[in-house]
Amino acid sequence: MSVPTSPAALFLVCTAIWGSTWLAITWQLGVVAPEVSVVYRFALASALIGAGCAATGRSLRFGFADHVRFAAWGAMFFGVNYVAVYYAERDVTSGIVAVVFAAIVVASAGGMRVFYGTPITARMVVAAALGLGGVVLLFLPELGSAPSGSRAAIGIAWAFLSMLLATAGNLVAVSVPMKRLPVFPITAWGMFYGALSAALVAVLVGARWTFDARWPYVASLAYLAVFGSVFAFGAYLTLLKAVGAGPASWVGVSTPVVAMLLSTAFEGYRWTTAAVVGVVLAVVGNILALRPPRSDRS
């Protein structure tokens, strides 16, 4: 339950774990429906965090208005968002999904402007253009590889939807009422509502409730629930409260790099010139978007 407290350590924990969870998700696909796997992951993580809170005397009691926020946040940030991620990874490699998800840096900036009045600078516009151009270049080899191009397009669409849902959840998380609440108790509730929303999706699509007892599925589920959900989300939310949404989103720069390296090693992802340029542009765009204003730098 304990996580580091320094921003640098929190950043490293999030990068190392989340960079590998994209690959771990691929071991969840096959026997068990994606929606059901998401339910298992976040129900288990919620139970673990809730038990830890109870053992350490952290109260899990909140008012009705807080639970409304938890439900909205959990559905977008933990539930339906991850259903879309699992859908995406059925059709495109995990590294590409991670790069698409990194666009949350720019999307969050736009959301902060719309909902919180945070100004958008010319630098952010340039960063968005670089990031978008990089993602397009990264997709070109996938979309051009007939007959799998149409499936890749569907996977990419799901990846974009997951990023937009996570952005919406991120904006709820940085609202003043949420920022004043303790990290782990609200994470337990957020993951509970995330599992609940994924279960609702499973019911709506008629998914079968099965379980895969083979070790790849069980091991990946344990890793995603304990490390990818409990420790990494705890570290990220602590970082979010400590430094704010913008600086915390730096995790989005490093995570896809780790994910692409793992995708190359374990999924046989083949690099092209367009893909290399695309990843570089996407990362540069994120770095540019997250650099502090000139007046804030020493």
Average pLDDT over residues 215-238: 89
Q: What is the pLDDT of residue 146?
A: 43
Residue 48 has pLDDT above 80, yes or no: yes
Residue 87 has pLDDT above 90, yes or no: yes
What is the pTM for the complete model shown?
0.82
Q: How many residues belong to the chain? A: 298
Among the ranges given (80-84, 88-92, 236-240), the one the predictor scored with the smallest mean pLDDT:
236-240
Q: What is the pLDDT of residue 245?
A: 61
State pLDDT tens for residues 108-141.
777 777 777 677 777 777 777 777 777 777 766 6
| Residues 286/102, Cβ–Cβ less than 8 Å | yes
**Residue 268: how many CA atoms within 13 Å on its side-chain side?**
0
The residue with greater pLDDT, 87 or 91, is: 87
CA distance 258 to 260: 6
Among the ranges given (3-17, 67-81, 196-210, 239-253), the one the predictor scored with the smallest mean pLDDT:
239-253
Among the ranges given (56-60, 175-179, 268-272), the one the predictor scored with the smallest mean pLDDT:
175-179
Ramachandran bin of 30, using left for φ above 0, alpha for ψ from -120 to 50, beta for the remaining angles: left
| Residues 52/184, Cβ–Cβ less than 8 Å | yes
State pLDDT tens for residues 261-289.
888 888 877 788 877 888 788 777 767 76
Residue 195 has pLDDT above 60, yes or no: yes
Percent of the chain surpassing pLDDT 90: 40
Among the ranges given (26-30, 184-188, 290-294), the one the predictor scored with the smallest mean pLDDT:
290-294
Residue 247 has pLDDT above 80, yes or no: no
Average pLDDT of every residue of the chain: 83
Tell me which residue of 205, 143, 182, 165 sits closest to 62, measured CA to CA.
182
Q: What is the pLDDT of residue 250?
A: 67
CA distance 182 to 160: 30
Q: What is the pLDDT of residue 233?
A: 77
Q: Given pLDDT bands bounded at 50, 70 and 90, which one contains residue 199? A: very high
CA distance 15 to 228: 10
**For helices 94-101 and 149-173, what crossing angle results, to 10°?**
40
CA distances for 248 relative to 130, 187, 243, 251, angstroms: 20, 17, 6, 6
Residue 290 has pLDDT above 80, yes or no: no
Q: What is the pLDDT of residue 184?
A: 86
Average pLDDT over residues 284-295: 64
Residue 251 has pLDDT above 90, yes or no: no
Q: What is the pLDDT of residue 59?
A: 92
Among the ranges given (124-133, 198-207, 226-235, 286-295), the one the predictor scored with the smallest mean pLDDT:
286-295
